Structure 1
Amino acid sequence: MYQALYRRFRPKNFDEVLGQNHITTTLKNQILRDNIGHAYLFSGTRGTGKTSVAKIFARAVNCIDSQDGNPCNNCEVCKGILHESIMDVIEMDAASNNKVDDVRELREKVKYPPSRARYKVYIIDEVHMLSTSAFNALLKTLEEPPKHLIFILATTESEKLPQTILSRCQRFDFKRITTEDIIKNLNNICNEIDFKAEESALKLIARNSDGAMRDALSLLDQCVSFREGVLSYEDVLDILGIANNDLIFSLVDNIEDKNLEESLNILDNIIQNGKDINQFIKDLVYHFRNLMIAKTSKDSSDIIDLEMETVKRYENQAKSLCLDFILKSIQILNEGENQAKWSSQPRIILEMMIVKLISLTDEYSLEERLDRLEEMIQNGNVNVEEKNREIQKKTVERPYEYKEQKIEKSKIKKEEKKEEVVEIVDDGKDISFNEIKDKWPNILKEIKSKRVSTQALLKEGEPLSYENKMLTIGYGDGFGFHKQALEKDHNREFIEKTISSFFNKNIRVKFVMTNSIEKKEVKKNNEIEKMTQEVVDFFGKDLVRIKK
C-alpha cells in the first residue's frame, strides 16, 4: 500500500528534525542527564514537527540502547513503539476526545504502570480543543502525576490554554522551517525516490508551504503523481493554481498606469485558465510584500528568497511606486482576502480590489503633495488655469499627485512683467473693513490679472477683519493647504503689495483657519461696524460719538 511522503519520510531521531535545534538539543541533554520532566507543551504552526518530536522523545526516554540522546530504533522497545505493538505510548486527539468524561477515563488509566517500557507517555494532540471542565479534570494529574507518566501536549494555539495548564508544563515553541531547509530536504527526498525536479520548481513548492514541511511534502506528492519526467516550474504553477510571475508583474504595471481594462483582461485570463482566486490574492499580497521589501531594504536579496533576476525585477518595479501606495495596497488585499474566503462570488471581490488599487495610484501623503505643488508653483511648471478647479476640489483629506505641465517661457516672462514694483503712497484716509469687503471681488480680479495661481488660492478665503492696518483672511476646514501655500513669503508679499496699491495704504495680511463659531462672531462684529458706519454717514461725524 502506498504511503504518503510526509509519513514515509517522517524523522526517526532528533538529528533528522529540521529547523528545531533549540528544542532537540534541550531534549537530548535532558535524556542524557536523566533530567526528564513530567509534562511538556509543544506549540507552533502546522507541519513544523511537533508530533514527530513527541514520538521521537517517547522512544528516546524508553530506549534500551539510547545513542547520544537519540533513540536507537533497533531495540525491542523502539521497534514495538514504531510498530504500535507496545501500548505504553498513547496518542490522543483532543479534538474528538474533548469532554470531561474522556479526561476522567484517562486519569483512571494513567494510574497503571507501563507494561514493557520505562515510562508511559501520553501524546495529546490539539490540546487547546479540550473543554474548560476537561482542563480542570486534567489539572490535578498534570500537577502531581505518577513517576512513570509523561504528558506531551501539542497545540497550534497555545494562547487558548489556561494559565494553570501552561504553568505546569515545560514549553517549547516550534519555529517555521526556513525555505532553504525545506528545499534541501525536498532535494534529498527527490534523490531517494529517483524523481527529478527543477530547482525553481522546488523553490516554488517551498514558498507555498508557508514554513510547514508536511505541506511541502504533500505538494511534492501531488507533483510526483502529475509528472513522470522532470518537474518544471510551469508544472507546479498548473498544479497549485498559481499565476505566473510575469502575469502578476504585468498586472501591477497596468495598475500603476491606471489601465483598468487591461488589468481586468489579465484577471479574466488568469481565472479562465483555472487559477484559484483565493490563491491568486495570496500571490498578490506576496508580490506587494516583496515590493515593500525592495523599496525599503538596502539589500533586498537577503530578505526576498528568490533568484537574483527576479529580485531585480521587484527593485525596478518598486522604484516607480510610492511606498504609501504599496502599504495601502497590502492593506486592501488583506481585507479582500478575508472577504473572498467567505464570499460566493470571490471574483467580484478580486475585481473590486483591482479597481481600488488603481484609484490608489493618485493618492500621496499631504507632505509630498505640498512639496510637489509648491515646487511647481515657484518654478512655474504648472498650468494653473487648467488645474484651478482641481485645486478647489482636492482637500487635505484626499491629497493627490499633480502632474507637471510646463508653461512656455514667454508666458512666464509676461507674468513677471505684470508684477512691476509699485511705490505705495499712503493718502492718509481711513478705510473700513466694509469698504475692503465690498471691493474684495475687484481685488481678486486685480490679483488674477497678475498671477492666476495666487488668485486661485486666495479666492477660497474670506476677509474676516481689518484692524491697525492688518487684514485677516480666514479659511475653513479642508482648505489648510491654501493657507499654508499663501503664507509662503513670495505669495504673502505679493498679496500685500497688490492690496496696498489698490487702496493706497500700507496693508499687511494675515491668514488664519476658522470654524463656524468664529465666523459667526466675526460676521456679527462686521454687521455692528456696518450699522455704525451707516449711522455716521446719516448724522455726520460731528454728531455721533462711538462708545467701546
Structure 2
Amino acid sequence: MSYQALYRVWRPQRFQDIAGQKAITQTLRNALVQEKTSHAYLFTGPRGTGKTSAAKIFAKAINCPNLKDGEPCNECETCRSITQGQLNDVIEIDAASNNGVEEIRDIRDKAKYAPTSADYKVYIIDEVHMLTTGAFNALLKTLEEPPKNVVFILATTEPHKIPLTIISRTQRFDFKRIGIRDSCERMKYILDQEKMAYQEEALTVIARAAEGGMRDALSILDQAISYGDDTVTVENAMSVTGSLTQELVLDYFDAIIQHNTEKGLSLLQNILAEGKDSSRFVEDLILFSRDILVYQQAPQMTDLLEGANVDEGFKQLSQTISANQLYEIIAILNDTQQEIRFTNHAEVYLEVATVKLTQLAIAQINNAAAETPSVNENTQIERQKITDLEKELIQMKKQLQEIAKNGGTPQPAKKAPKSVNKPGNNQFKANTTIIYKVLSEATKENLAQLIDIWPDLLNMLSVTQRAIMKASTPVAASPDGLIVSFEYDILCQKATNDTELLEAVSEDLRRLVGYSPNMVCVPSEQWPTIREQFLKQNKDLLKKRPVKKSSSTSIEQHETATATANDYEQENLASLESVLPETEEEETIVTEAMELFGKEMVEVKED
C-alpha cells in the first residue's frame, strides 16, 4: 500500500484522541451517555482543529451498539463501515462544491426516509458557510422540523457567514486553536507509536509554526521526518519551518542592547544566507519579545510562553532589557512586518529595521531611573501631598464659617478630586468628545454582543495586532462606536495611532456582527473618571428640566416627581446602566425637594 500522510493515518477515531478540545468532547460524550443528543450541531473554529473528525466520531458513537462512556468501540461492523466511509446512513457533503438549492432539496427529500442499517441517519455538511442564500432557506425548514432519527452536523471556519436563523436551531461548539503543549503531546504519542526518534524541542518548533492547527502540525512533522531520514531534530525542524534557533535570537537581541549595528547586520546576512524566511524571522522576533515581556511580569507562569526556552541566556536578557525597549522593538518589527508583505526586496526592510533597533536611544540606566523615583523625589511627593491636604482643610473651614454666618445648615462638602503628582507623568489623553458621543448612543445589547465575540475578533487579527489588543476590554458600544479600555497607556496610544489596526477591527466586526463601529481607545485608569463625569453631566441636564410648581407641594408629591424624573433618566440612560457607576453622594429626599422646588414651596410633615 502506498504511503499515507500522518494526518490521514492518525485521524482521531475516539473523542479522547482529539487534542486541545476537552470541554467539547466531554460535553458530547455526556450527551451520548445520557441520551440527550440534539438534532443539529454547528462545529466552528480554525482549520485543522478537529471539527470534521469530531463529527465522524459522533456519527459512530450515536450508532454504535457497544457504546462505552460516550466512546465508540471502533470494532463493530457499523463503526468500521463509518471509518471506511462505506455506511450509506452517514452522508458527508462538501458545501463548497454542492452549494446550490437543488442539492439541499435533495438532502431534504432523502432525509424523510428512515435509515437503512444504522439507528440514525447523520448528515455532515463541511464548509457550510459556502451555501447560497436559497440553499440556506431550503435547509432551514428541515432544521426547524427535523425528521425522526436524523442528525445534522454543520462544520465551518467562518460562522459569521451563516444566517442567525440557522445558528439558532443548532447546538454550537467553538473549536479553539490547539495549544503548543497539546500539539506536542499528540505528536509525541504518534512518534512513539511509529517508533521514531525525536527531540522534544523540535516538536515545540513545529507546533509553534502550525499556529494552532493539528493537521498543519502533522504535515510539517511529515516533512521533518523526510528531511531527517526518520529522525526529528531541532535543526531539521528549523530548516523545514524556516524558524530561528534561540541562540541566534539571543545574539540578535544582544546586538540591539549593545547598540552594535555592525554585529546586527552581520547576523542578519548570515540568517538570510541560510535560507530563513523573512516573514518567519520577523514573526519569531515578535513572539520572542512577547515571551520576554510575559516572563518579566509573571516569571512563574512559564506555560504562557509561546515557545521560548527559559535558559540562562533568556533569564539574563529579561533582566537586562527594559519593558520600554521591548515596546519600541515590537513597534518597529510590526511596521517592518507590514512593509515586507508588499515588496520583493524584504531584505532591504529587514536591514533598515536592524539599523533602527540597534540605534534605539533608550539606555537601561535611564529607564531604571525613570521607573524608580529616588529618595528625594519620594520626599517631595509626600510633602506635596501634605500641602494639598492642608489647603483643602483651610478651604473647608472657610466654607463652614460662611454657612454659619448666613444662618444656614452646613451641607456635606464635596470631595476634591485626587491629584497625584508623578515625576515625568506623560500619560495618554483620551478623546472625551468622541467618547461622550459614543456613550450618548450606547446600548447594553451592543456591548453584550461585542463582549461575546471579542475572543473571535482577536483571533482574526494578525499576531502583532493581537499583541496590542490582548490587554483590552470593550466597555461601551453603540451601532456606530466602540469604546475599548486598555490596561497600559502605551498600548492604548499605539492602538489609537495604528490606522491599519483600527480599520482591521472595524472590518472584522462587520463580518462578525453585521455592522462596523469605529473603535475609540481609553486607558483603564481614565475610564472610571470619564464615565462618572458623563453621568453627572447628564443628571445635571435632567435636574434642569422645567417642573410645574404648586403651593401645596408636599413630600409625597415630591416623591412622585422624583420617581418621574428617575423614570426619565433611566429611559435616556438605559444604554449606560452596565457601564456607568453610581454617584458617590446621595442627597436626602428633603434636600432634593428643596433643590427642585425651592425652600418656600416645600412643607415637611412629621409622622
Question: TM-score, normalising length from structure 2?
Answer: 0.57
Q: Which residue matches 1:62? A: 63
Mapping for residues 357-396 of structure 1, pairs under 5 Å: 357-362=357-362
Q: Which residue matches 2:25? A: 24
Report the identity percentage: 42
- Deviation of residue 127 (structure 1)? 2.1
What residue identity is the alignment partner of 2:118? A
The answer for unaligned runs of 5 or more in structure 1 is 378-394, 399-548
Asked if structure 1 preserves the Cα contact closer than 8 Å seen for 2:205 and 2:307, the reply is no
Asked if structure 2 preserves the Cα contact closer than 8 Å seen for 1:294 and 1:314, the reply is no
Per-residue CA deviations over 1:367-387 (Å, capped at 9, x if unaligned) read: 98878999999xxxxxxxxxx
Judge which range, 103-112 or 169-178, deviates more.
Answer: 103-112
Residue 156 (str. 1) matches residue 161 (str. 2): no
Change (3 A) 1:125 1:334: farther
Q: Secondary structure at the match of 2:198?
A: coil
After superposition, the CA RMSD in angstroms is 3.3
What residue identity is the alignment partner of 2:82? I
Count, aligned residues: 382
Q: Which residue matches 2:334? A: 334
Q: Secondary structure at the match of 1:22?
A: helix
Q: Secondary structure at the match of 1:287?
A: helix
Asked if structure 2 preserves the Cα contact closer than 8 Å seen for 1:292 and 1:327, the reply is no
Change (3 A) 1:296 1:225: same
The answer for unaligned runs of 5 or more in structure 2 is 378-423, 428-607
Tell me how far apart the structure 1 counterparts of residues 154 and 363 of structure 2 sit (CA, whole Å). 50
Q: Which residue matches 1:296? A: 297
- Deviation of residue 171 (structure 1)? 1.1
Mapping for residues 251-270 of structure 1, pairs under 5 Å: 251-270=252-271
Tell me how far apart the structure 2 counterparts of residues 150 and 334 of structure 1 sit (CA, whole Å). 46
Judge which range, 178-187 or 37-46, deviates more.
Answer: 178-187
Asked if structure 2 preserves the Cα contact closer than 8 Å seen for 1:13 and 1:70, the reply is yes
Change (3 A) 1:314 1:169: same
Change (3 A) 1:146 1:369: same
Q: Which residue matches 2:444? A: none
Q: Secondary structure at the match of 1:150?
A: strand
Per-residue CA deviations over 1:39-59 (Å, capped at 9, x if unaligned) read: 111122222211111100011
Per-residue CA deviations over 1:326-356 (Å, capped at 9, x if unaligned) read: 1232243334334433433322333333344
Tell me how far apart the structure 2 counterparts of residues 198 and 243 of structure 1 sit (CA, whole Å). 16
Change (3 A) 1:338 1:161: farther
Q: Secondary structure at the match of 1:154?
A: strand
Tell me how far apart the structure 1 counterparts of residues 367 and 227 of structure 2 sit (CA, whole Å). 54
Mapping for residues 419-434 of structure 1, pairs under 5 Å: none
- Deviation of residue 181 (structure 1)? 2.8
- Deviation of residue 106 (structure 1)? 3.1
Tell me how far apart the structure 1 counterparts of residues 187 and 374 of structure 2 sit (CA, whole Å). 57
Mapping for residues 193-212 of structure 1, pairs under 5 Å: 193-212=194-213
Per-residue CA deviations over 1:145-178 (Å, capped at 9, x if unaligned) read: 2123211111223233332222111111223333
Per-residue CA deviations over 1:430-481 (Å, capped at 9, x if unaligned) read: xxxxxxxxxxxxxxxxxxxxxxxxxxxxxxxxxxxxxxxxxxxxxxxxxxxx
Tell me how far apart the structure 2 counterparts of residues 315 and 38 of structure 1 sit (CA, whole Å). 53
Q: Secondary structure at the match of 2:232?
A: coil
Asked if structure 1 preserves the Cα contact closer than 8 Å seen for 2:205 and 2:237, the reply is yes
Q: Which residue matches 1:45? A: 46
Q: Which residue matches 2:352? A: 352
What residue identity is the alignment partner of 1:51? T
Mapping for residues 118-267 of structure 1, pairs under 5 Å: 118-228=119-229, 230-267=231-268
Change (3 A) 1:368 1:104: farther
Asked if structure 2 preserves the Cα contact closer than 8 Å seen for 1:300 and 1:311, the reply is no
- Deviation of residue 283 (structure 1)? 0.9
Asked if structure 1 preserves the Cα contact closer than 8 Å seen for 2:48 and 2:213, the reply is yes
What residue identity is the alignment partner of 2:347? R
Q: Which residue matches 1:313? A: 313
Q: Which residue matches 2:88? A: 87
Per-residue CA deviations over 1:218-271 (Å, capped at 9, x if unaligned) read: 121112212236432112112222122211111112122232232222111111
Per-residue CA deviations over 1:399-447 (Å, capped at 9, x if unaligned) read: xxxxxxxxxxxxxxxxxxxxxxxxxxxxxxxxxxxxxxxxxxxxxxxxx
Asked if structure 1 preserves the Cα contact closer than 8 Å seen for 2:246 and 2:308, the reply is no
Tell me how far apart the structure 1 counterparts of residues 271 and 56 of structure 2 sit (CA, whole Å). 44
Tell me how far apart the structure 2 counterparts of residues 343 and 319 of structure 1 sit (CA, whole Å). 36
Tell me how far apart the structure 2 counterparts of residues 264 and 367 of structure 1 sit (CA, whole Å). 26
Residue 114 (str. 1) matches residue 145 (str. 2): no
Tell me how far apart the structure 2 counterparts of residues 257 and 134 of structure 1 sit (CA, whole Å). 63
Residue 10 (str. 1) matches residue 25 (str. 2): no
Change (3 A) 1:371 1:33: closer
Asked if structure 1 preserves the Cα contact closer than 8 Å seen for 2:78 and 2:118, the reply is yes
Runs of 4+ in 1 over 6 A off after TM superposition: 366-377, 395-398
Larger Cα-atom Rg = 1
Asked if structure 1 preserves the Cα contact closer than 8 Å seen for 2:206 and 2:217, the reply is yes
Asked if structure 2 preserves the Cα contact closer than 8 Å seen for 1:256 and 1:361, the reply is no
Tell me how far apart the structure 1 counterparts of residues 274 and 13 of structure 2 sit (CA, whole Å). 42
Change (3 A) 1:300 1:59: closer
Change (3 A) 1:156 1:359: farther
Tell me how far apart the structure 1 counterparts of residues 190 and 150 of structure 2 sit (CA, whole Å). 36
Q: Secondary structure at the match of 1:106?
A: helix
